[in-house]
Structure 1
């Protein structure tokens, strides 16, 4: 999502949690999906939602995708019927590819496939409002 909707030339750097602030400052990087950062979990919202809000993303399919990811990434698993499957596949990728960079490279396809499905869902007028 970041490469497609925010910065097509984004580089991802993975560091231990204890070094996030230091590396972000040194590299002028924007940390995300980590404790205490702007683009992290806040209240009942996940990092994906924080990114959508920060960058004012309004693509209806992306907003539909956010419902799935929110449900899978928070304590709200039953709020979207796709969440359990999405979470299972994401965990499977983590088990198959424990290296963060390799995992990310493989998961791009999963996110692209989910986005394609969300485009179809929105076009059909479903939009995730039905369980």
Structure 2
């Protein structure tokens, strides 16, 4: 179908830095019947597309409704009129659900700010979990999420004053933090219903590096070394987060696509005398 994308192709895009903006434009009635989001999708009112569509300038978009029919095709057409390359998801959320692909329960998402973003706060000078969790959130939950890094003693007070959600801190009442042997990344995978095989593999690496259990995965030592190196390269926490996003993009793609690949060098070199 022209100007549309099948669910399997979208599933390959989600979690990658080049994923288009995912716009859930279902009616309130449809959302009430199924309060789940395709990973990384943000809700937008379909009737107001002429007002908010211009904010997508410079990006491409995939528009999602319940069945991939009039609403998503109409909104996608409006966006293309505004100069935004846009496609409709074939079959909509019903096709996504039927394919057994991950869906994020809307109830697990923190409240959004006036600009529609989730806001999170954690301790300054992040190393592993406090970079891995923002990567997971921006790639699979809320691409526009805001992260505040503050002194450890101020995390809970900043959370209260600024309406932010605290994560990865040593406080028993904080929901998004370590639980027993699990690190915060593990907890987010489970709560957001994102525990796919590649992300579970990545979670094991993160847990091994973050909890000094390097025996959990051979790659944990490499993640720890790279994370400590980034913390020495960057004095600014947000600059370190930006650099860390690329690091986790690479680890995720290895977990998803390249675990069976080996490095053989040199290759195809002729034997002496041949």
Pair in the same fold by TM > 0.5:
yes
Aligned-partner Cα distance in 1 for 2:162–2:197: 33
Residue 254 of structure 2 is aligned to residue 102 of structure 1: no
Q: Which stretches of structure 1, 4 residues or longer, exceed 3 Å deviation after superposition? A: 121-124
CA RMSD between the two structures: 1.6
Residues matched between the structures, number: 124
Q: Work out which structure has the larger RCO, using CA pairs closer than 8 Å and 6 or more positions apart in sequence.
A: 1
Tell me which residue corresponds to 1:118.
255
Instruction: Report the counterpart of residue 31 of structure 1 in structure 2.
Output: 166
8 Å contact kept, 1:72–1:84:
yes
Aligned to 1:43: 180
Greater C-alpha radius of gyration: 2
Larger fraction in strand? 2
Mapped partners of 1:113, 1:102: distance in 2: 18
- Residues 1:56 and 2:193 aligned together: yes
* CA distance, structure 2, for counterparts of residue 109 and residue 19 of structure 1: 28
Matched position secondary structure for 1:13: strand
Task: Give the Cα separation in 1 of the matches to 2:140 and 2:230.
Answer: 23
Partners in 2 of 1:67 and 1:98 — Cα distance? 28
TM-score by length of 1: 0.87
Distance 1:53 1:80 in 2: 20
Bigger Cα displacement from structure 2, 86-95 vs 72-81: 72-81
Instruction: Determine the C-alpha separation between the residues in 1 that align with 2:157 and 2:248.
Output: 29
Asked whether the equivalents of residues 39 and 50 of structure 1 are also in contact (C-alpha less than 8 Å), the reply is yes
Judge conservation of contact 1:48–1:66 (CA < 8 Å) in 2. Answer: yes
- TM-score, reference length from structure 2: 0.43
Unaligned runs of 5+ in 2: 1-135, 262-274
Per the TM alignment, residue 91 of structure 1 is displaced from its structure 2 partner at its CA by 0.3
Unmatched 5+ stretches in structure 1: 125-131
